Structure 1
Amino acid sequence: MVSIRANGINASSVWGDGNASSLAGLINEHLSLWQRLDSTGKGALAGKFVDPATGSPRGVAFAHHADMSDVGIMGHSRGGAGATWQAAESHRGQWPAGVGVKAVVALAPAYNLVTEDMAAHRITRTPLAVVRGTCDGQVTKEVVPFAAGAADRTESGFYQFEVHGADHGYFNTRWSPQSGQVGSRDDAFPVDGHPGYCTDRDDAPAAGQLTEQQQRHVGTTCIDAFFRRYLLGDTTVDPILTGRLHPDSDITTVDVEATLR
């Protein structure tokens, strides 16, 4: 798993489809760096690894250890819009040589809902999953039908996960209050007269709010199942992806809708 930073783009004045396009470009640039490292052992990433415990340089031989033809992309918030844009049929030609994206997760994606170019988001050959919480105070419920519209001609499958009691920021450790980071907060809308319950800006039915750890656990269950299915070919997770099995039912309800191909 590799995490990339997009703070420079998100802090800029680039919005809407331009923001999604810029984020997709950042994803492709990182994929290009990793493809070169894997195929040759050289490039900008060579010799740049450090020990996470000490910060000291650490020699890591990544050459021929990563299958860059079998990649999964996950983006949160505006990153989810960027991941969708990157995987869209009209942008596949921008993928670096030797890279194949086999699955995409849009986690609470902040789409440009007023786009005038829906074709720029349309995904047909790559499986897509969208995850959103019922207490998301940042992106509206319309992002789910937007993602469904992007996948309405899919040849590979589309999955929707609606996590009851999940807000926007808790999926991200840096945006969660326990991180202590400036700007981290709980964005869920409280329900008057019902402590511990939340809703979203669209007045979704009240649900018991999840803790940071619970929300990330449930989100991981959904995302892990999706990637296991499409990156590893593990069909044992199909009951989770179709909603027949709910492994986190003791924590919350997850509404699942699957379009299979």
Structure 2
Amino acid sequence: MTTTLLVFTDLDGTLLDHYDYNFSAANDALSSLRTLGIPCVLNTSKTYAELLELRHALRHKDPFIVENGAAIYLPINSRFDPNPEWAQCGDFWVKAFGPNRQELIKVAQSMKSQFDFIGYHDLTKEQLMEHTGLDFNTAALSMQREFTEPLIWNDSNNALAEFRSLMEKEGIKVQKGGRFVHLMGQDCDKAIAMQWLIECYQSCTSDTVKSIALGDGENDVEMISKANIPVVVRSPVHAPPEIPNRNDVWITDSYGPKGWSEAINQALKNEGFI
């Protein structure tokens, strides 16, 4: 029985450098995945609009997951047969898991007097650039969100726990990422989207499908915990998140894309691809 390996990766702080979003340290490993025909699924908090440009830079041709698991984009010319429930967006079929962003904003605004936060929709492009280091064009693309609403959280951790509890009663999940607190539907999760896509791949092959997931933040924990090969990419700005119920987690020695590349190369060796 042969193995089909699927790579699921976070972007910011993982495949992309935390400070300058550079991925040159990962180029050789990305090239190896392309040569071996191993899908590399981007699983990120970024938007569809952001990913169109970034995918071109990465020479990426595989499916991708946006806004922390809120939707999956499948290239129309890929191996998957279209489902009548999927929408079409440009050259992609779209499987959505999340509610409309405006619903999330409405609920968050109703709690603005109780907690200290700034909604993404309240930011100017210039403010977003200052907070993230994004250039003007990329900041504009980042603001084109459809399924989630990031917040700059200026309140305490205790307040965040209270906020999370209140939002849960409204059917909204709160996840803390590297820079933002993200609001999304209860069924939006990087792990749920990953599992859905793994099942799609499994339905197309008699191979054993094996997954490796790489991430650096709290919003990557579930995705990493559900993968066959769980990898935490070391961050220069925070401690590695704990992955519950797994004693086989790899924590990279290097930060960001360099650590990412080391983990991919090791996995390819371990699985007999190189």
The answer, yes or no, to whether TM exceeds 0.5 is: no
TM-score normalised by length of structure 1: 0.30
Structure 2 length as normaliser, TM-score? 0.28
**Larger RCO, structures 1/2 (Cα 8 Å, 6+ apart):** 2
Structure with the bigger percentage of strand: 2
